[in-house]
Amino acid sequence: MKRMLLYLCLGSLISCLLTTCNKGAKRVLTKGMHITQSLSVDATTYRFPALDNLDEPVLSVEGENLILDFSGATLDSGMDPTQPQQFMGLGLLVKGGRKITIKNLNIKGYKIALMAENVDSLQIINCDFSYNYRPKLYSQWDREDFSDWLSYHQNDKDEWKRYGAGVYLKNCDYATISEVKVSQGQNGILMTNCENGLFYNNSLQFNSGLGIGMYRSSGNRVMHNKLDWNVRGYSHNKYQRGQDSAGILCYEQSNENIFAYNSATHSGDGFFLWAGQSTMDSGEGGCNDNLIYANDFSQAPTNGVEITFSRNTVANNTMEECRYGIWGGYSYGSKILGNQIADCEVAIAIEHGQDNLIERNRFHKTQTGVQLWQRDQQPNDWGYAQARDVKSQRYKLKENLFSQVANPLLISSTDSVEAKGNIFLNYTSLLTAKQPNPNFVLTDNKVYGDGSWGDAAAYQKSNEQLTDLAIDTNHILLGAYGYMPAPLMDGIDAILPEEHPRGRQYILMNDWGPYNFAYPSVWLREIIDDTYVFLLMGPTGNWKVVGGEGLAMINPKTGTFPATFKAKKSPDSEELSIQFEFIGEGFVDQFGTVFEKGQVYPFSFERFEKEIDWEVKWYPYTAASDPNDHYEAFRALSASPAAASERKQGLVYHWWNSPAPELPADQFATFASASVNLDPSDYQITISSDDGLRFYIDGELVLDHWDAHKSAVKEISLPLGGKHQFLVEHYDKTGLSAIDFRIHPIRASQAGEKAL
């Protein structure tokens, strides 16, 4: 009897451990696990290889009223962290259900870290989805590569998935995402068909695409987020393209969202809004009635704010050191109120806008203040322009301050503009009108220091007038023009701290995206004759030069970060390199690898400057010599006299029209040949092209990219040495056309840094 009672007690104990008594235990994750109940996870690193698709996640979740506390656990694909362009698969899928909370989870090494579909009231809290997919970038220090441009136009078929993300939400209403970090990837948070969500206190910085992107998503609040350095397509003093990267993207019928108290500096666009392809085709809809309030969109290579083909309010934001403070092409019924725009080329530029209000903004040290105009004719393939009246007309410019703006008003072909109660302080030409502006009214404006920059008396007088002007954006929004969103009670101050590097000179791009100032690095800044100027950035500690080739007279050779130094190129040197070592504080590199304090960290600068002289010839082609239908006839063109030709060093071309007056804008052939003498080594050849290209070495085809394609890159690696004959065949079919040829020795020391 006692033995039976003992067995019963043991059985009860085991049952307890397996059920109710086990509720507080930490669960160990297994690959392929499908979670349907609340749980707490053992905090360790799980190496779960991903499959080459997004349909079979490493983990999946489904259910209602679930709380999943991952306790700081990490899902890691185990793939080579230095090759993030190869990352694939999905870490965690939340599919179906409601009131599911995911918290304290880290995921890295996947194409998409977390994806959720058809989930109501999802919460994602305190998670880190850094170091996931990002493609290799091919734009260089000295030139842009058009293959790096992004496109988000048709996401109804989930095209965004090809770009990867920290978080991708689809059909998830009432979602809340807070305290989520995504860095050193391509995109932070992307959403499609999501409404009434709250996205706040997130750190989505230093990515090569977007911080937050929304598509057909309305009624959301995006507040108090750090969205800085989401950028590509920039090289300081070389080019400023942005390539459609952005801190915030608002696309395709996304309406009535609030974007407030965010910092989205140093991003391709700070805020990028476009009505969408359906609006462009039909003329209906748009991204309307969004409120963009009290954000910092400074240091954008292109636009601080872009709002196009839509009706929105942009109020009380800061846009400094952008190309355009606000670009508002085809905006209508929009309100631009109380913004601070300074040190931009153009403060506000709007083509073909109607019924827009520009009131109580401060414009300082811009070349142009407000630019309004219309083109002579509309593109034939724009349904929008066929369905709507797109004349530039009916503007009110009220009580704005123009301080040290060279051309405050640059307005042409715009009907019914009223400029009333503005202050113009120190300018060159107050109004420039290249075409007549019917019904233009200037009234009750105050003008000081016209043409006399730095007029102290005029400046003092204008300051007295500012008191009367009483620029008060909050009063405007609380009064006649709508609603002012209050900061969230637990919202963070997202603005960059004063000690953080700031300015477009600190948009530093390598092969994988923007530099985050966390790890030791070296950057080529300028070449003046044979002198090379470098910037060194990194954590607290000491660096020193330990070797190099082709660069001499390096000064200084040791120091702390940040530092600037110079070196002189040795005559006739082709391979340039400097090797460094760093010892100091611990840090995490751009691939997520941790380096402990005191650990020696090598880093380097490397650049190959092989001079290759190309003979380039161009020909028009016809249907009879079409490159795809009649290739032999196409190739035979090279034996005939060229329509145009030139000899040049380096094979780099970007054509929007004809390469020469003797050629058509479309359907032309390019043949380029060069004789090259190379030191024996393994070489990587990288060729970007648009539309079709083939490359031969010594008559042998080694790269075939002959289909008509948009700008794209092909790479090949092969051993070369001695004298070789290079031949490039290329054709343009229509639109943009490009050739960009590069070659460099393969070096084991690159470790992910850009070979400039």
pLDDT by residue (tens digit) across 189-234?
999 999 999 999 999 999 999 999 999 999 999 999 999 999 999 9
What are φ and ψ of residue 667, in 5° steps?
60, 65
Quick one: tokens of 296?
Answer: 């910092």
Question: 16 versus 483: which is more confidently predicted?
Answer: 483
| Cis peptide bond upstream of 691, omega within 30 | yes
Mean pLDDT of the chain, nearest integer = 91
**What pLDDT, on a 0 to 100 scale, did the predictor assign at position 449?**
64
Of 217, 89, 83, nearest in space to 155 by CA? 217
Q: Cα–Cα distance between 58 and 32 in angstroms, integer?
A: 5
**What pLDDT, on a 0 to 100 scale, did the predictor assign at position 26?**
84
Residue with tokens 């391509």: 186
State the alpha helices, DSSP H only, in 400-534: 456-469, 473-478
**What pLDDT, on a 0 to 100 scale, did the predictor assign at position 447?**
86
What are φ and ψ of residue 34, in 5° steps?
-110, 115
Tally Cβ neighbours within 10 Å of residue 233: 25
**What pLDDT, on a 0 to 100 scale, did the predictor assign at position 2?**
41
Q: How confident is the model at residue 235 (pLDDT cuts 50, 70, 90)?
A: very high
State the burial class of residue 101 (Cβ atoms within 10 Å of its Cβ: 0-12, 13-18, 19+).
Answer: middle
Least confident of 14-18, 309-313, 595-599: 14-18
Tally Cβ neighbours within 10 Å of residue 365: 16
Quick one: tokens of 623?
Answer: 């249907």
Q: Cα–Cα distance between 315 and 291 in angstroms, integer?
A: 8
Q: Cα–Cα distance between 263 and 205 in angstroms, integer?
A: 10
Residue with tokens 């035979």: 636
Mean pLDDT of 713-738: 96
**What pLDDT, on a 0 to 100 scale, did the predictor assign at position 217?**
98
Mean pLDDT of 25-42: 93
How many angstroms separate the most distant Cα atoms in the chain? Answer: 110
Quick one: tokens of 469?
Answer: 């002007």
AA letter at 753: E
How much of the chain, in percent, has pLDDT values that exceed 90?
86
Domain 613-745 sits in which CATH superfamily?
A: Galactose-binding domain-like (2.60.120.260)
Q: Cα–Cα distance between 53 and 635 in angstroms, integer?
A: 40
Question: 426 versus 688: which is more confidently predicted?
Answer: 688
Residue with tokens 């070495």: 697
Of 7, 70, 63, nearest in space to 36 by CA? 63
Q: Cα–Cα distance between 168 and 119 in angstroms, integer?
A: 12
Mean pLDDT of 418-423: 94
Mean pLDDT of 30-43: 95
Q: How confident is the model at residue 24 (pLDDT cuts 50, 70, 90)?
A: low
Identify whether the C-beta of residue 560 lies closer than 8 Å to the C-beta of residue 542: yes
C-alpha dihedral, 431 to 436 to 442 to 448, nearest 10°? 10
- Asked if the model's pLDDT at residue 523 lies above 60, the reply is yes
**What pLDDT, on a 0 to 100 scale, did the predictor assign at position 454?**
42
**What pLDDT, on a 0 to 100 scale, did the predictor assign at position 17?**
37
Mean pLDDT of 574-584: 96
How much of the chain, in percent, has pLDDT values that exceed 70?
91
Q: How far apart are the first and last CA of the chain?
A: 84
- Asked if the model's pLDDT at residue 8 lies above 80, the reply is no
Q: What is the pLDDT of residues 316-365, one digit of tens each?
A: 999 999 999 999 999 999 999 999 999 999 999 999 999 999 999 999 99
Q: Which CATH class is domain 517-608?
A: mainly beta
Q: How confident is the model at residue 483 (pLDDT cuts 50, 70, 90)?
A: low
Mean pLDDT of 607-622: 96
C-alpha separations of 29 from 3, 59, 306 in Å: 37, 9, 44
- Asked if the model's pLDDT at residue 466 lies above 50, the reply is no
| Cis peptide bond upstream of 562, omega within 30 | yes
Quick one: tokens of 379?
Answer: 């593109």
At residue 4, the 3 state secondary structure works out as helix
Identify whether the C-beta of residue 338 lies closer than 8 Å to the C-beta of residue 313: no
Q: How confident is the model at residue 152 (pLDDT cuts 50, 70, 90)?
A: confident
Least confident of 75-89, 191-205, 382-396, 478-492: 478-492
**What pLDDT, on a 0 to 100 scale, did the predictor assign at position 754?**
39
Question: Where along the chain do its domains lie?
Answer: 517-608, 613-745
**What pLDDT, on a 0 to 100 scale, did the predictor assign at position 572?**
87
Quick one: tokens of 669?
Answer: 């052939």
Of 211, 165, 174, 176, nearest in space to 194 by CA? 174
Helix or strand (DSSP H, E) at 382: none
699 sits in the region (left: phi over 0; alpha: psi -120 to 50; else beta) called left
- Cβ density class 418-429: b for 16+ within 10 Å, e for less: ebebbbbbbbee
- Asked if the model's pLDDT at residue 571 lies above 70, the reply is yes
Mean pLDDT of 632-659: 96
DSSP bridge pairs for 618: 644, 670
Identify whether the C-beta of residue 476 lies closer than 8 Å to the C-beta of residue 358: no
Q: Cα–Cα distance between 520 and 518 in angstroms, integer?
A: 7
Residue with tokens 């941790």: 594
Q: Cα–Cα distance between 165 and 211 in angstroms, integer?
A: 10
**What pLDDT, on a 0 to 100 scale, did the predictor assign at position 481?**
57
